[in-house]
């Protein structure tokens, strides 16, 4: 199956599976799993933080960060398109009693810092206390540049806010910018890293921060049912991913640019309005195209896509090569010819 739905569909490679099968394990809730401990210590050092916590998902990692930085009745500012606002089932509000204050993202993914300043609540008991600004990098495949991150850091310091990064695809940003990961992470009080997207691990994310934040997050993780036992089998995959699968993300970015060019050969498909910076390709689809029927036909030919995702989104990853893209385009052209579209 040529799966263009998401980079979450990546499969662990043979070397990763071998390390998983041979991983030393213990009970992580007791702190006894040596491989989990190694992953947390290694990742904390790698990203320039005091401590790290291995969790089941990026959604859980973001929720832990929000609940550790904020108390009930507090507020965090984020983008209108932020994953931890739109796509995480309202967890901050439902489980943390923390109010999100979304601000519309700019076309390049940024949040206007003047609008952030205007959204910070005064010290008045009528309002929720603004405690945190959350950014996402990459967001919709777009990379936040280092100058913007520095300006955001200055803004949050001025107003005594914590600055959190949803870094689900932060390594795509690192590769696109051509910098060490610490050039991004140094601006933040906390950040998440998803190991199970482009980095190719089967499960898991990291939350990084200072020791006090991670200790609090560890307690909340237990409260949320996120304590894991012999999790070293999964942590071994995360270690392999961080040590071996970062630089190859450049291949995904190149393939995404190639896909964005070729998809414009299809009638009614147009990616020209969306700049491809990393591994996400967005495109507009003409209303005349029966997109659900198109997706069904592609699936019958071994190609899996998500119809109607923000127009349409196609994602490259370790399971997609140039030949796969060519097969997709050829099968799509055959479909449109049968439909009488050229």
Q: Is residue 22 part of a domain?
A: yes
- Which pLDDT value is given to residue 258? 98
Statement to judge: residues 214 and 313 lie in one domain = no
Statement to judge: residues 191 and 268 lie in one domain = no
Statement to judge: residues 272 and 223 lie in one domain = no
Among residues 206, 222, 244, the one where a domain terminates is 244
Q: Give DSSP secondary structure letters for 177-213.
A: HTS-THHHHTT-SEEEEESSSTT--SS-EEEEE-HHH
Statement to judge: residues 152 and 292 lie in one domain = no
- Mean pLDDT of the 298-313 span: 87
Statement to judge: residues 92 and 161 lie in one domain = yes
Condensed to tens digits (0 to 9), the pLDDT of residues 155-209 reads 999 999 999 999 999 999 999 999 999 999 999 999 999 999 999 999 999 999 9
Q: Is residue 2 part of a domain?
A: no
Q: Is residue 167 part of a domain?
A: yes
Statement to judge: residues 144 and 229 lie in one domain = yes
Statement to judge: residues 163 and 23 lie in one domain = yes
Statement to judge: residues 238 and 129 lie in one domain = yes
Among residues 197, 219, 244, the one where a domain terminates is 244
Statement to judge: residues 107 and 87 lie in one domain = yes
Q: How many domains does the chain have?
A: 2
Asked if the model's pLDDT at residue 288 lies above 90, the reply is: no
Asked if the model's pLDDT at residue 341 lies above 80, the reply is: no
Condensed to tens digits (0 to 9), the pLDDT of residues 228-273 reads 999 999 999 999 999 999 999 999 999 999 999 999 999 999 999 9
Band (307; pLDDT cuts 50, 70, 90): confident
- Which pLDDT value is given to residue 308? 75
- Give yes or no for a contact between 164 and 58, defined as CB atoms under 8 angstroms apart: no
Q: Is residue 20 part of a domain?
A: yes
* Alpha carbon distances (Å) from 320 to 151, 204, 271: 36, 22, 19
Q: Is residue 1 part of a domain?
A: no
Q: Is residue 278 part of a domain?
A: yes
Asked if the model's pLDDT at residue 310 lies above 70, the reply is: no
Question: What are the structure tokens assigned to 172, written together?
Answer: 């795509």
Q: Which residues pair with 79 in a beta bridge?
A: 103
pTM comes to: 0.95
Asked if the model's pLDDT at residue 220 lies above 80, the reply is: yes
Three-state helix/strand/coil letters over 97-153? CCEEEEECCCCCCCCCHHHHHHHCCCCCCCCCEEEEEEEECCECCECCCHHHHHHHH
Q: What is the CA radius of gyration of the chain?
A: 21
Asked if the model's pLDDT at residue 26 lies above 90, the reply is: yes
Asked if the model's pLDDT at residue 309 lies above 70, the reply is: no
* Alpha carbon distances (Å) from 247 to 82, 159, 202, 241, 281: 26, 37, 18, 11, 20
- Mean pLDDT of the 144-153 span: 98
Among residues 244, 260, 295, the one where a domain terminates is 244
- Give yes or no for a contact between 266 and 225, defined as CB atoms under 8 angstroms apart: no
For the chain, what is the mean pLDDT? 96
Statement to judge: residues 73 and 108 lie in one domain = yes
Band (340; pLDDT cuts 50, 70, 90): confident
Statement to judge: residues 227 and 180 lie in one domain = yes
Question: What range defines the domain where residue 53 resides?
Answer: 7-244
Statement to judge: residues 133 and 224 lie in one domain = yes
- Mean pLDDT of the 84-89 span: 95
Q: Please report, for the domain that includes residue 293, its CATH number.
A: 3.90.1150.10
What percent of the chain shows pLDDT beyond 70? 99
Q: Please report, for the domain that includes residue 140, its CATH number.
A: 3.40.640.10
Quickly list H helices, the chain. Answer: 14-21, 34-47, 58-69, 83-86, 91-96, 113-119, 146-158, 170-177, 182-185, 211-223, 232-244, 249-263, 291-300, 322-338
CA distance between the termini of the chain: 26
Q: Is residue 272 part of a domain?
A: yes
Q: Is residue 151 part of a domain?
A: yes
Least confident among 39-53, 69-83, 280-294? 280-294
Backbone dihedral angles phi then psi of residue 277, each to the nearest 5 degrees: -105, -30
């Amino acid at each position: 199956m040529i799966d263009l739905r998401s980079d979450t569909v990546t499969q662990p490679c043979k070397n990763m599976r071998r390390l998983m099968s041979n991983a030393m394990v213990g009970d992580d809730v007791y702190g006894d799993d040596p491989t989990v401990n190694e992953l947390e210590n290694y990742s904390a050092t790698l990203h320039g933080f005091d401590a790290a916590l291995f969790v089941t998902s990026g959604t859980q990692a973001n929720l832990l960060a929000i609940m550790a930085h904020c108390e009930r009745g507090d507020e965090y500012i984020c983008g209108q398109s932020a994953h931890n606002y739109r796509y995480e089932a309202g967890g901050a509000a439902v489980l943390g009693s923390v109010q999100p204050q979304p601000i519309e993202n700019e076309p390049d993914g940024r949040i206007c810092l003047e609008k952030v300043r205007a959204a910070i609540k005064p010290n008045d008991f009528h309002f929720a206390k603004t405690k945190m600004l959350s950014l996402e990098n990459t967001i919709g495949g777009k990379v936040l540049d280092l100058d913007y991150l520095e300006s955001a850091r200055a803004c949050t310091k001025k107003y005594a806010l914590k600055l959190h990064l949803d870094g689900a695809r932060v390594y795509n940003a690192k590769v696109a910018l051509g910098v060490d990961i610490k050039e991004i992470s140094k601006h933040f009080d906390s950040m998440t890293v998803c190991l199970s997207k482009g980095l190719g691990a089967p499960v898991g994310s990291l939350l990084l921060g200072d020791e006090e934040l991670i200790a609090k997050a560890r307690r909340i993780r237990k409260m949320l049912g996120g304590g894991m036992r012999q999790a070293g089998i999964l942590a071994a995959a995360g270690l392999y991913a961080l040590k071996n699968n970062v630089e190859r993300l450049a291949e995904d970015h190149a393939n995404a640019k190639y896909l964005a060019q070729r998809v414009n050969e299809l009638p009614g498909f147009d990616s020209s309005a969306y700049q491809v910076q990393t591994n996400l390709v967005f495109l507009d689809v003409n209303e005349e195209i029966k997109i659900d029927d198109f997706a069904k036909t592609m699936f019958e030919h071994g190609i899996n896509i998500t119809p109607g995702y923000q127009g349409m989104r196609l994602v490259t990853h370790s399971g997609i090569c140039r030949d796969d893209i060519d097969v997709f385009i050829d099968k799509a052209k055959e479909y449109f010819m049968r439909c009488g579209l050229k």
